[in-house]
Chain A
């Protein structure tokens, strides 16, 4: 994808904590859910940054906080140099024209009592971009852009299938000619044969309109397909961030490595070494000390339980939060590795 290296969005030390309270009338805070904790990354113009992680790792919260659908606890998010978190109400509304979101669930993200034309036309009116006949024309144009027909404008969401509804959601996001689209699990509610249609559409639109995507998903194959770079999240933190090819051929963080090996591959001939992580993801209310992954890590060192690893560039834009790095050569030496033998 054509990127000229210019940075569109830069997020610095982003935190989002949700208070945990006790008591009914006199509520006091007894703790915090650290949904997003100290996140830093940037997105270049025209690129797709994939954000992967398992449920509860904070990837959706990240997207919502950047759009200020939820207020951050701390941190900065610079969009074309301006801090999104410092904008006033009116400035923020103007900025929202540049940043749009596509939601995961195409069934609950469209108002069932509005026609498709009204749904797609609403942002045009709010941002005073088009009215009357001009609006109708623009809505029809958008419907065609996403592969639907102009006459669909008079129909209601329930008349459409999941894939078509997701197209409507995409048309609504495109209506204001945004620069950045945050796509929050845009295909995970869709059937496999429909997923490919929507993924192709997103790629075509990116080429046509020079869009930048923050693509949030849990499905690694999908993220790999669409992203230029990928950030892997675990329990509110990015543990590794690298170019897609680099991340897949040279995963450095033990969590990334396990995650990649856990994906079932649709090829019965392929025999891989599988790393099966023990246990579940710990609660983000009282996350483990030091490195948050140390409770499940196969390479854990005593220091991992104490020191929080810094998130730093280990060369060529490959960011990593693991002090045991470079553990690559260690791995080849250490026969301690898979306790569970690879079965297939």
Chain B
């Protein structure tokens, strides 16, 4: 396979607070290839948004700090760039769409001014050309009457339209990577469907690689090629979209898939994941999921498991797939429905 476009290696972003060190992202590793859509899935507090801000180098310091790792973009480590060099990449080569279309636009500037600002800064066009380009971008994201609407203010747009504006702004400099942080979470389903469709279409046309951050497994299934599942700041399972739904290997992924009600399946009792997500301050040694894991073994509370290969391009951070688990323990997990044998599928 060709070199990845963006490669995150062992990223660790910590926040130093009065209560202690919050390990928001703790050892994240993944590759993003050209034209690929990578899903980063996790619940609130799993570190998925902090990871995005780390890639953009937008972590407020203090209290936050990227303490370790590499973020290789086209072979260059973003963490080693000067602020000036980073400014030329941020918004230009790597752009971001935020969750809240209501708060991420400046209410006192027109849409056109906001889109043109990035174009003037990065593409060195004059104001007129930038405005023309802004209007073109609005047309691309299918805002009706785009040429007139560039002069409108954010409050004159609905939520779905604002998210379109955000996407237009992010794509205005034709970035290689688009990081979309829960882009449809604040929207209604019918509008969400419009935005997903739009993003797919634009990806086809622009060839942008997308990092899709979401908690919605449905959105992941619709949009992504590959997935990283995060829990308590750590990546616990990495694989293809097909395998994550058909053969989830990590007990957390498995639990997550069972706890959501299905639209087109018969109603049965939901199997929830018991307990609460842990506090990221003073995480106990061992696997962060162990206290909630129905298959937890003795080793799980003692040491944090490394990634184990569990199939073709499929890794899981779980001792069930090591020789540390006895046959009996593997059988028990299998009996519960988790494909626990590391041989299956490999």
Contact = CB atoms under 8 A, between A and B. Distances in A.
Given A264-B219, A268-B245, A192 B158 contact: no
Interface of A: 54-55, 161, 163-164, 191-197, 199-200, 203, 218, 220-222, 224-226, 244, 248, 258-270, 274, 276-277, 280-281, 340, 343-344
A260 B271 CA distance: 24
28 contacts: A54-B190, A161-B276, A164-B276, A192-B215, A193-B43, A193-B255, A193-B272, A196-B259, A197-B273, A200-B269, A200-B272, A218-B189, A221-B262, A222-B261, A225-B270, A259-B190, A262-B192, A263-B189, A264-B222, A265-B222, A266-B218, A266-B262, A268-B241, A269-B246, A276-B190, A276-B197, A280-B160, A280-B161
The secondary structure that dominates the B interface is: helix
B242 A268 contact: yes
Interface residues of B, number: 45
B197 A263 contact: no
B260 A263 contact: no
B277 A197 contact: no
B68 interface: no
B259 A277 contact: no
A218 B191 CA distance: 13
B256 A221 contact: no
Contact of A54 (B189, B219, B264): B189
B221 A266 contact: yes
A123 B337 CA distance: 44
For the complex of A and B, the 3 pairs showing the least CB-CB separation, nearest first, are A264-B218, A225-B261, A196-B272
Given A200-B272, A277-B194, 11 more contacts: A192-B215, A192-B217, A193-B259, A195-B259, A199-B270, A203-B269, A244-B267, A248-B263, A248-B264, A262-B192, A270-B264
A265 B262 CA distance: 8
A194 B215 CA distance: 13
A258 B273 CA distance: 32
A260 B200 CA distance: 20
B221 A220 contact: no
A196 B264 contact: no
B256 A193 contact: yes
Q: Which of B217, B219, B260 has the most CB of A within 10 A?
A: B260
Contacts of B271: 196
A281 B190 CA distance: 10
A54 B188 CA distance: 6
B231 to A, nearest CB: 10
A157 to B, nearest CB: 15
Contacts of A193: 43, 255-256, 259, 272-273, 277
Nearest to B193: A262
Nearest to A199: B270
B188 A55 contact: yes
A191 B277 contact: yes
Given A192-B256, A262-B193, A199 B261 contact: yes
Nearest to A57: B188
Contacts of A281: 188
B259 A264 contact: no
Contacts of A259: 189-190
Interface string B183-202: 00000111111101100100
A192 B43 contact: yes
A267 B221 contact: yes
B120 interface: no
Contacts of B217: 192, 266
B118 interface: no
Contacts of B196: 264
Interface in B204-231: 215-222
A200 B194 CA distance: 32
B266 to A, nearest CB: 9
Interface string B160-194: 11000000000000000000000000001111111
Nearest to B265: A267
Interface string B275-306: 01100000000000000000000000000000
A266 B276 contact: no
A344 B193 CA distance: 12
A312 to B, nearest CB: 25
Contacts of B274: 197
Given A54-B189, A224-B267, A340 B43 contact: no
Contacts of A225: 261, 267, 270
A193 to B, nearest CB: 4
B257 interface: yes
B326 interface: no
Q: Which of A226, A260, A280 has the most CB of B within 10 A?
A: A280
B44 interface: yes
A224 B189 contact: no
B91 to A, nearest CB: 28
Contacts of B192: 262, 264
A95 B203 CA distance: 56
Contacts of A261: 193
A271 B335 CA distance: 30
Contact of B270 (A196, A220, A262, A269): A196
A274 B263 contact: no
B216 A264 contact: yes
